[in-house]
Every structure is written in C-alpha cells, then in structure tokens.
Homo-oligomer: A and B are copies of this chain.
Amino acid sequence: MNPGASGPALASAAPTVATPRSATLHDVARAAGVSTATVSRAFNRPDTVRESLRQRVQAAAAELRYIPNDAARALASHRSRVIGAIVPTIDNAIFAQGVAAIQARVEAAGYGLLLAACDYDLARELAQARTMVGRGIEGLVLVGTRHHPALRDLLREHRIAYVCQGAFAPAEEPACVGFDNRRAAYVATRYLLELGHRRIGMVAGIRKDNDRAAGRVEGMRLAMAEACLALPDAAETTGQAPGSWLVESAYSYEAARLATRRLLVGTCRPTAVVCGNDILALGALRECQARGVDVPGQMSIVGFDDLAPARQATPALTTIRVSTTQMGEAAADYVLAALAGGSPPAVEIPFKLVIRASTAPPPSV
C-alpha cells in the first residue's frame, strides 16, 4: 500500500494497469451467465449443451481470450493430455525423424509432447521417466528394449501406456514397434557373403546398454557362423587388439574414421565391412578414400538406416532402409491406441536392403 494514498480511488489506481489475471472458467461462466459446469461441458462435450448456450459461451470465451488451465484440468480429470518421449539423443537424424513423427502424431490427437534425451544412459532414462510420471504423462515412448529394471515397474505401477520403439522383440518386451535388428544385420551380411566376401569386418555402434547395436552385431555374427566363418574379435577380451575385425565406435564421422583405421591397418584386412549405421559407414567410406582403398573395388561397405547423406555419397551407400518416420508414427499410434482403451499389437516395421554402389564382389574373386 502506498502510504501517501489519500482515498480508495487513488489507492486503487496502481502505477500501471494491475495484473489482469488471465480469464478462468468462472469468468467465462459469469460473462455468459451460466454455471461453470456448463462452460466446461460446452468445451468438452458440445453435444450436451444447447446450441444457443454454447454460442454464448464461445463468444464469452473468445471475448475474454480464455485459455483453459491444463494443470487444473489434469488435476480434476486425471488426464494430462501429454505424452512423453525419451530418446538416446536428439542429435542424430534417426531419432530426430522419429521424434518429429511422434510429435506430429501426438499433436494431431490433441496431446502435447514432453521430450528428454538420456544419452544412452539407463539410469538417466529412469530418472527422466520418473519426473515425467510426476508431470503426469499418460503415455511414453522409449527407444529400444533394454532399460533399467525399475523402469517397467514404474510405468506399470502408474498405469502409463508405453511402447519401445526401434526394435522388435515381442518375447522380451510385448509393447514394441520396430524391426528385428538382428535379422536386418543378418540380411546385410548374407548379401556380402553371396557377393563372395569371406573376410568381413564390422564397425559397430557401442553395444553397452544398446540392444539395437548389440542385435546388429549378433545378426552379423550369425550369418558369419552359418557360413562357417569367424569374426575375429579380440576387441572383446583384450581391448582393441590389432587384428580384430570387430570395432566399436561412437556415432560420429570422426570416431568412425578412427575405428575404421584400426580395421585397415592389419596385415590381413577384410574385403568388406558392415557398419552399425550410416554415419559409421560414411566415416568408413571417407577413411578408405583417404587411405587410397578403393570402394567398392577393394572394400565393400554397407550401412544401416538409409539416411539422406547415404544416398548422396559417392559411391552411394548400400544400406538397410527402415522408415524412422513410419516407426515413429507407429509408436505414437500404439500409445494413443492404448490410451483410447485398446490393446494394440506389437507391430513389426519392414526393413529393406537397398543395394547401391558401395558394394561389389571382393577383389580376388
């Protein structure tokens, strides 16, 4: 209170226009001359209120620039109209596309999207899920099937509809939408084998806590084993021992080049390499070119994901294509369906080996 104020008129004349608290349901109700219940209904179940009244309510709402308070709404209705997504990282075209698709889908259904990136850290993912639960998400899309053991309990306990995107393994995780990474890598490797390659290496993503990356090397190994071929992988026991044909790399060009270098320096190097994704493949390609190893003449390369740059590279990359957009949409649809009361089925997204110019028969054949 201004001590110098001499009367109510003066006192109420604040220095500037007083905070014009934004309009509430009550304000609208008063303006329209109806009860709050009617206003609420006019918005949420228009068919239950008489046309004339609804119009009056709409008019009043528009006039007051009324925006419903979703916190109150969520509190009263137990529905937040928000779903969450936790991805390993946003800064990777694969996930960016997926998130974009999810966002679009979710928005179309009237939901908001709460996003977090866990950086491939299971504990962090759990913590993020926990705060999202507090924030009232109704559904959650996760990436991959490998998660902190407490995560599933958390989601179950709070009855959150969730789905694991990017992998298909209905056995270990019924709620998933994606493709079988093992099989895809298997297919890619088979193709190389059929081309005549026998000495095949792999530049894999980092497998720790990453079922997709792990599945891809498993699939590759399986194809090799079937052909009675081994994948020298000293890496696994002795670190990156020379001669290992299985190297792991972070998802960046630079790291991939370094990793590829290790593959190239051995006295006996592979004639083909399957990469954990296109970034790795592009890095591998670049490194080969830098060291004068002709691709595909002396070295075949197959990627994974079919990102846009894979198509543009020279030579264009042979790779496994899978539509992340489709996957994201399917994931969103899954949780949306679950929220609508259905119990949607796990869906398997197709993948496809697209053969371009980075693969050819091995030199000696």
A interface with B by C-beta (< 8 Å): 20, 22, 65, 67-72, 74-75, 80, 82, 89-93, 96-97, 99-100, 103-104, 107, 112-117, 128, 130-136, 157-158, 252-253, 282-283, 286, 289, 308-309, 311-312, 314
Inter-chain contact A90/B96, CB cutoff 8 Å: yes
Majority SS at the chain A contact face:
helix
Inter-chain contact A75/B71, CB cutoff 8 Å: yes
Copies in the complex: 2
Inter-chain contact A114/B116, CB cutoff 8 Å: no
Among residues of B, the one whose C-beta sits closest to the C-beta of A130 is: B67
Decide: A157 near B65, CB < 8 A? Known: A103-B116, A113-B115. Answer: yes
Q: A20-B157, A71-B72 are in contact. List 10 more A-B contacts (CB 8 A).
A: A69-B75, A72-B75, A82-B114, A90-B97, A90-B100, A90-B103, A92-B96, A103-B116, A103-B117, A104-B117
Measured CB to CB, the closest approach of chain B to A341, in angstroms, equals 16
Among residues of B, the one whose C-beta sits closest to the C-beta of A107 is: B116
Inter-chain contact A134/B67, CB cutoff 8 Å: yes
CA distance A114 to B92 in the complex (A): 19
Inter-chain contact A71/B74, CB cutoff 8 Å: yes
Measured CB to CB, the closest approach of chain B to A27, in angstroms, equals 14
Q: Can you list 15 A-B contacts (CB < 8 A)?
A: A20-B157, A69-B136, A70-B134, A71-B72, A71-B80, A71-B136, A90-B103, A92-B96, A93-B96, A100-B117, A112-B116, A114-B114, A253-B308, A253-B312, A314-B314
